[in-house]
């Protein structure tokens, strides 16, 4: 779970929200809400090294996400790669959630893009701050995530947009890439664009513009 410390001081409105990674335990619950005890975790990463700069392939992402779901020694030993370990919790927070409170400050089922977006300033090693890649021109990076395909399209970055969405997006792009202009692309175009826009918004990236090469089929190859 990622806990967001909401800035309540109005004078600090411009400042960025602060997020941290916590493991939450429900210690009391009633009809009106619940009390969570949250212990703060940090990945054992030195200095400026971040998840967005160390998850080097699809397998590493999968392993980090498996570990986040259940951060135990057993999980760690069963993984194919060595994700950074979570350090011992240095801080405890008690969080009260009322039934009427807006939950967006709490995130569960943490994926790698959530960490990159909320805690690492959106920087990912595949394409730094770009969210869409040319899957044929990444110099081998796309291959590591099974994202390689031809040029001329804008594919959602598998690392900072999510491997599942990127895979789905690749299949969408492929469906006309290999069939060229013979495919009537009008179907599904807007759905694809909306889905990508939603993901950008959900992750809270500053720029949520989706390039035409990511969704527009008609007219591109004829
Ligand atoms: Zn990226």
Under the banding of pLDDT at 50, 70 and 90, the label for residue 119 is confident
**Does the pLDDT value for residue 104 go beyond 70?**
no
Nearest to 123 by CA among 208, 66, 48, 20: 48
**Does the pLDDT value for residue 183 go beyond 70?**
no
CA 99 – ligand 1 centroid, Å: 35
Q: What is the pLDDT of residue 64?
A: 93
CA dihedral 80, 81, 83, 85 (to 10 degrees): 70
Q: Write the DSSP string, 155-181.
A: EEPTTTS-HHHHHHHHHHHHHHHTTGG
| Whole-angstrom distance, CA of residue 203 vs CA of residue 102 | 17
| Whole-angstrom distance, CA of residue 52 vs CA of residue 71 | 19
Q: Write the DSSP string, 75-144.
A: HHHT-SS-PPPBPP---EEEEEEETTS-GGGEE-S--HHHHHHHHSTT-BTTTBT-SEE-TTSSTTHHHH
CA 103 – ligand 1 centroid, Å: 27
CA 38 – ligand 1 centroid, Å: 29
Q: What is the pLDDT of residue 62?
A: 95
CA 162 – ligand 1 centroid, Å: 9
pLDDT tens digits, one per residue of 41-100: 888 887 778 899 889 999 999 999 999 888 888 999 999 999 988 887 778 888 888 777
CA 113 – ligand 1 centroid, Å: 9
CA 133 – ligand 1 centroid, Å: 8
Q: What is the pLDDT of residue 184?
A: 56
CB count, 10 Å around CB of 3?
21
Domain ranges of the chain: 2-119, 132-214
């Amino acid at each position: 779970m990622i806990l967001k410390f909401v800035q309540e001081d109005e004078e600090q409105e411009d400042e960025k929200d602060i997020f941290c990674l916590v493991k939450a335990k429900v210690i009391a619950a009633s009809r009106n809400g619940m009390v969570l005890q949250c212990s703060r975790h940090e990945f054992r990463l030195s200095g400026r090294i971040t998840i967005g700069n160390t998850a080097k392939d699809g397998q590493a992402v999968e392993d980090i996400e498996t570990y986040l779901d259940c951060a135990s020694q057993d999980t760690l030993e069963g993984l194919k790669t060595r994700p950074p370990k979570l350090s011992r919790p240095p801080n405890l927070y008690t969080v009260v959630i009322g039934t009427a409170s807006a939950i967006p400050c709490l995130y569960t089922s943490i994926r790698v893009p959530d960490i990159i977006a909320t805690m690492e300033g959106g920087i990912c090693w595949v394409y730094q701050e770009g969210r869409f890649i040319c899957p044929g021109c990444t110099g081998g990076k796309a291959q590591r995530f099974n994202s390689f395909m031809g040029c001329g399209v804008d594919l959602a970055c598998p690392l900072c947009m999510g491997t599942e969405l990127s895979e789905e997006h690749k299949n969408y792009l492929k469906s006309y890439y290999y069939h060229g202009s013979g495919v009537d692309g009008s179907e599904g175009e807007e759905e694809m664009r909306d889905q990508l826009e939603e993901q950008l918004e959900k992750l809270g990236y500053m720029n949520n513009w989706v390039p035409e090469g990511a969704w527009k089929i008609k007219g591109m190859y004829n």
